[in-house]
Amino acid sequence: MIIPCIDLMGGKVVQLVQGREKALEAEGPLEMLEKFKAFPQIQVIDLDAAMGQGSNDDLVELVASRATARVGGGVRTPDRAGRLIQQGAHRVIVGTAAFNRPLLEQISQSIGPERLIIALDSKAGRVVVKGWQESTEFTAEQIIRDLEPYCSGFLCTYVDKEGMLQGTDLDWFRRLRTSTGHELTAAGGITTLEEIRELQKLGIHAALGMAIYTERLNLDVLASMQSSLG
């Protein structure tokens, strides 16, 4: 599955490079939803909430009410996870909270593991949290299996290449694929149709951001590819 991304910051749709530098602002979320209507799911990340500097709740609710959306960013309590489901989110993405096991258990129980995706974002070989601002001691490969009981899938971002349009690390995703039987979604630097095809061969979804917004990848071509995937 090909999953277009809508990242929200300061009330706008944006794209960042490695989670720090804002590279561009796009059209509003409704305009982006119209462009993405050929795709079965959308990914929505509230970057302000992820970084602990506010939220874009109204926009998140707007998108979640009009598309099949997996939503994340600052989901650190069962209440917030439940609220996102109530707002229309199809599934909820949790990152930082996944490393507080009692909290993860509470969130998983509150919405059900089938609605929960855990984000395992890697920078310099280590999982990063708190909006990619803090590094942990773990690699994704080390901990992914331990987290399986709490979720139905993992969103794995290769932060080193995020937003740089330089390609991603397919070897990392191959290692992750051998580490878990759960659903995997790849993100971070995916730039070419060849990379998407290789991920599909591995049984891994592709979440796309910068390559779409800069038109490096053509939406019509991607929509046709998605249609062929069924």
Positions marked catalytic: 7, 121
Tell me how far the alpha carbon of residue 122 is from its chain's centroid. Answer: 13
Distance, in Å, from the CA atom of 192 to the CA atom of 195, rounded to the nearest integer, reads: 5
Q: Are 136 and 129 in contact (CB under 8 A)?
A: yes
**In angstroms, rounded to a whole number, what is the distance separating the alpha carbons of residues 162 and 119?**
14
- Judge whether 103 and 97 are in contact, CB under 8 Å: yes
- Residue 2 in contact with residue 222, Cβ under 8 Å? yes
Neighbour-count burial for 92-103, b at 16+ CB within 10 Å, e otherwise? bbbbbbbbeeeb
In contact, 64 and 89? CB cutoff 8 Å: yes
Residues 129, 213: Cα–Cα separation, whole Å: 25
Pairing assessment for the beta strands 2-9 and 12-17 based on DSSP bridges: antiparallel
Alpha-carbon span 47 to 58, nearest angstrom? 14
